[in-house]
Amino acid sequence: MTSTSPPTQFTYRSFNNLVLVSGHPNYQHIQQFQDPGVKTFQYSTNNKYLGWATSESVKIIDAKTTEIVTELLKKNVVEIGFSPKGNYISTWERPVKSQDNSVHRNLIIWEVVTGKELISFTQKTQTNWNVQWTEDESFFSRMVTGEVHFYDTNRLDKGIHNKLRLEGVGDFSLSPGKSPSISIFIPEKNSAPAIVRIYSITNFNSPLSQKTFYKADKIQMKWNDLGTNLLVLTSTDVDKTNKSYYGENNLYFLSVAGNFDCRVNLDKEGPIHDVAWSPTSKEFIVIYGYMPAKATLFNHRADPIHDLGINPRNTVRYNAQGRHILYY
What pLDDT was estimated at residue 69?
96
**Rounded CA separation 286/213 (Å):** 20
Q: What is the mean pLDDT of the chain?
A: 91
Between residues 53 and 242, the one the model is more confident about = 53
The residue among 76, 110, 130 that closes a domain is 130
What pLDDT was estimated at residue 147?
93
Question: Is residue 250 located within the same domain as residue 323?
Answer: no
Question: Is residue 223 located within the same domain as residue 184?
Answer: yes
Question: Is residue 156 located within the same domain as residue 123?
Answer: no
Residue 1 pLDDT > 50, yes or no?
Answer: no
The CATH number of residue 169's host domain is 2.130.10.10
Question: What residues make up the domain containing 256?
Answer: 135-263
Question: Is residue 5 located within the same domain as residue 79?
Answer: yes
C-alpha separations of 211 from 175, 215, 231, 251 in Å: 17, 13, 11, 12
pLDDT digits (tens, 9 = 90+) for 265-290: 999 999 999 999 999 999 999 999 99
Question: Is residue 35 located within the same domain as residue 91?
Answer: yes
pLDDT digits (tens, 9 = 90+) for 91-136: 999 988 877 777 888 999 999 999 999 999 999 999 899 999 999 9
Question: Is residue 166 located within the same domain as residue 289?
Answer: no
Between residues 229 and 240, the one the model is more confident about = 229
Residue 16 pLDDT > 90, yes or no?
Answer: no
Question: Is residue 290 located within the same domain as residue 235?
Answer: no
Residue 62 pLDDT > 80, yes or no?
Answer: yes
**Rounded CA separation 225/167 (Å):** 29
**Rounded CA separation 110/53 (Å):** 14
Q: Where are the alpha helices (DSSP H) in 10-163?
A: none
Give the total number of structural domains in the chain.
Answer: 3
Q: How confident is the model at residue 152 (pLDDT cuts 50, 70, 90)?
A: very high
Residue 187 pLDDT > 50, yes or no?
Answer: yes
pTM of the model: 0.89
Question: Is residue 14 located within the same domain as residue 116?
Answer: yes
pLDDT digits (tens, 9 = 90+) for 198-235: 999 999 999 999 999 998 888 999 999 999 999 999 99
Nearest residue to 152 (alpha-carbon basis) of 202, 195, 192, 106: 202
Question: Is residue 34 located within the same domain as residue 96?
Answer: yes
Question: Is residue 125 located within the same domain as residue 244?
Answer: no
Contacts of 12 (CB under 8 A, 6+ apart): 18, 19, 21
Between residues 328 and 102, the one the model is more confident about = 328
**Rounded CA separation 309/288 (Å):** 11
pLDDT digits (tens, 9 = 90+) for 36-53: 789 999 999 999 999 999
